[in-house]
Structure formats: C-alpha cells, structure tokens
C-alpha cells in the first residue's frame, strides 16, 4: 500500500491531467474548481464532458480518447455511476493514475471502478481532492482534508 501523501505527490507530479465532469455551469461543479486550480498552477489540463464543446473558456473534449496526445492522469469528478466507464477507458488508454474526487458528499468514488482500475495496474486514489495536497492546496482545502480524513472520505493509503 502507498500512503495518500505519496500517491498524491506522484499524481500531482504529472503535468498533463484530464478532469472529467467539468460543467458549463461552473458554480455547481467541484470539477470546475479542480480544473481551474490545476490550470492556474501551470498544469496542462483538459476538460472532459460529453455534452460540452467549451467550458471555462477552454476547449472541452467529449471523452479521454479525444484528447490529442493523451494524458498522464485523470481526475474523475462525475457522479459515481459514471466512474466505471471512465475507469475502463483509462485502462484501455494506458493511463496509470486516477483520482476519484470526494469531499464531504458521496462524490465520484465507485467500488467497482476502484477494483477495475487496480486490476489493470492503475494507482487509484479513491477519495479526497487533488487540491487538498501540495502543490495545489490552499488553507480551505487543507482544513477539508483534515475533516474528510476524519470522516473517512480521504483514504490514508491506496
């Protein structure tokens, strides 16, 4: 098992990251917050939403396969029921690091998606948020990390 800090460090060490679930209505989506923070911190980040061509002023891709040159890592920030299909696509594309977003609510974590990913050699972070860890964190997300860890929403190991 790998500690969450080490897994987060490896994940955030990638420079090309896709964020699924980015919405055309940015006020309602944690995915948009993650997307913008990664973009603002210098990551080459790709928005994924099958129903949008543009979000946050950037091109949006309908699926992971449509991203030119592929990505190194994926944040799944869709409803949990969509995570299985995304994880299957990650496995098919050879993506090795996937983070299923979850803070206080149910989030995107799916036990079957986690199992599928790990069976295919993918490092799956099944809970928490990339913004809870350096170099992308802020005070609010650090507090959320503590609260969510205590509530069992952030894994201690992956």
Residue 60: which pLDDT band, with cuts at 50, 70 and 90? very high
Task: Express each pLDDT in 81-125 by its tens digit.
Answer: 999 999 999 999 999 999 999 987 779 999 999 999 999 999 999
Packing angle, helices 80-93 and 111-119, rounded to 10: 10
Q: What is the CATH number of the domain that holds 15?
A: 3.40.50.720
Q: Rounded to an integer, what distance in angstroms lies between the CA atom of residue 79 and that of residue 108?
A: 5
Q: How many folded domains does the chain comprise?
A: 1
Owning domain of residue 86: 4-150
- 131, two tokens: 């913004």
Q: 58-61 and 54-55: which strand pairing?
A: antiparallel
Q: Could you report how far apart the first and last alpha carbons of the chain are, in Å?
A: 6
Chain CA centroid to CA 24, Å:
18
Share of the chain above pLDDT 90, in %: 92
Question: Are 133 and 147 within 8 A, CB to CB?
Answer: no
Does 32 fall in a domain? yes
The pLDDT mean for the chain works out to 95
Question: Given a cut of 80, is residue 26 above it in pLDDT?
Answer: no
Does 79 fall in a domain? yes
Does 142 fall in a domain? yes
Does 23 fall in a domain? yes
Does 155 fall in a domain? no
Does 74 fall in a domain? yes
Does 156 fall in a domain? no
Q: How is residue 150 annotated by DSSP?
A: H
pTM score, whole prediction = 0.96
Q: Rounded to an integer, what distance in angstroms lies between the CA atom of residue 125 and that of residue 155?
A: 8
């Amino acid at each position: 098992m790998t500690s969450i800090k080490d897994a987060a460090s490896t994940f955030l060490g990638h420079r090309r990251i896709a964020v699924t679930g980015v919405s055309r209505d940015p006020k309602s989506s944690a995915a948009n917050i993650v997307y913008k923070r990664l973009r603002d911190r210098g990551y080459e980040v790709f928005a994924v939403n099958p129903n949008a061509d543009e979000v946050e002023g950037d091109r949006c891709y309908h699926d992971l396969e449509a991203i030119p040159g592929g990505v190194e890592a994926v944040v799944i920030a869709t409803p949990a029921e969509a995570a299985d299909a995304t994880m299957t696509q990650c496995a098919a594309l050879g993506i090795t690091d996937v983070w299923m977003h979850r803070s206080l609510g149910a989030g995107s974590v799916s036990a079957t998606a986690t199992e599928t990913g790990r069976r295919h050699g993918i490092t799956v972070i099944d809970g928490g948020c990339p913004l809870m860890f350096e170099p992308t964190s802020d005070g609010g997300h650090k507090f959320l990390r503590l609260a969510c860890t205590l509530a069992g929403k952030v894994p201690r190991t992956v």
